[in-house]
């Protein structure tokens, strides 16, 4: 075969040239995208629904008075906390949904963090990555970053839902920060627990218990 007819080596494809760190981070995004979408819909839709229902049902003076009387019940206070600004749709929504959303998003973040760290390690998918150029510290940090970003998306969905429902912007932003921040705390707890315990189930239990 002459030099003129020699076959040139094929150029590496973009997929094969992709950095393994980017591939690992992309896989984490793929694993978490559906759960993030579901949580964003729930966390954004529930407060908006409650705020709209408040206007339709309790916006009058009689409705606010009945809510105030209901909130004095010790059992109700135990479930939802001390009420603030029940005469405002945003205040009522935060009181009614704040605890539920904070617990829901926090627990989801713990489970997501342990899934992307200890769960992937238990499944053996990290062994191949660690045999190459990647290090455990990078995989843990990138997985945690993905969960933190997901909780930020959920917090933004809370704010957007309340704003679309017509509540005060400042309160909507603060409530979104509260829910998203609780999720970030849960993500951190899950990542730490996954490094302390050898099984995903035990790590998830520890993270939820501390949260």
Residue 170 maps to a domain: yes
Query: In which element (H, E) is residue 7 found?
Result: none
Average confidence (pLDDT) over 5-13: 47
Is residue 77 scored above 60 in pLDDT?
yes
Query: Distance between CA 86 and CA 65 in Å, rounded?
Result: 9
| Tokens standing for residue 71 | 């909130």
From the number of C-beta atoms within 10 Å of its C-beta (0-12, 13-18, 19+), residue 122 rates as middle
pLDDT score of 31: 87
**148, 187 contact by CB (below 8 A):** yes
Q: Of the given ranges (57-61, 139-143, 168-172, 198-202), which has the lowest mean pLDDT?
A: 57-61
Question: What pLDDT, on the 0 to 100 scale, is given for residue 75?
Answer: 64
Predicted confidence at residue 23, as pLDDT, reads 72
* Residue 202 lies in domain: 23-56+89-210
pLDDT at 14 over 60: no
Cβ atoms 46, 154 nearer than 8 A: no
What does the DSSP 8-state code read for residue 119?
I
In terms of pLDDT, which residue wins out, 85 or 100? 100
Enter the tokens of residue 147: 């969960």
Tally of domains within the chain: 1
Query: pLDDT-based confidence at 206, cuts 50/70/90?
Result: very high
What pLDDT shows up at residue 160? 96
pLDDT of residue 66: 65
pLDDT at 101: 94
CA distance 196 to 205: 12
65 inside domain: no
For residue 10, tell me if it sits in a domain: no
Residue that the structure tokens 């713990």 belong to: 110
The answer to whether the CB of 65 falls within 8 A of the CB of 90 is no
pTM: 0.81
CA atoms within 13 A on the CB side of 48: 17
Least confident of 11-15, 22-26, 101-105: 11-15
Residue 82 lies in a domain: no
Q: Is residue 8 part of a domain?
A: no
Residue 150 lies in a domain: yes
State the average pLDDT for the chain.
82
Average pLDDT over residues 170-174: 93
How big is the CA angle at 155 (ends 34 and 182), to the nearest 5 degrees?
A: 100
């Amino acid at each position: 075969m002459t030099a003129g007819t020699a076959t040139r080596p094929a150029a590496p494809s973009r997929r094969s040239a992709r950095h393994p760190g980017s591939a690992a981070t992309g896989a984490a995004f793929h694993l978490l995208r559906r759960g993030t979408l579901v949580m964003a819909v729930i966390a954004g839709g529930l407060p908006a629904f409650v705020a709209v229902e408040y206007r339709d049902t309790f916006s009058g003076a009689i409705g606010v008075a009945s809510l105030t009387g209901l909130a004095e019940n010790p059992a109700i206070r135990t479930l939802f906390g001390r009420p603030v600004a029940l005469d405002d749709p945003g205040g009522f929504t935060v009181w009614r949904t704040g605890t539920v959303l904070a617990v829901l998003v926090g627990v989801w973040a713990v489970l997501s963090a342990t899934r992307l760290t200890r769960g992937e390690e238990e499944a053996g998918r990290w062994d191949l990555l660690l045999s190459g150029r990647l290090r455990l510290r990078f995989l843990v940090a990138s997985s945690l970053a993905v969960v933190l970003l997901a909780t930020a998306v959920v917090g933004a969905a809370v704010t957007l839902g309340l704003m679309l429902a017509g509540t005060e912007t400042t309160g909507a932003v603060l409530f979104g920060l509260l829910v998203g921040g609780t999720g970030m705390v849960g993500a951190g707890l899950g990542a730490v627990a996954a490094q302390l315990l050898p099984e995903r189930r035990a790590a998830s239990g520890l993270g939820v218990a501390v949260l």
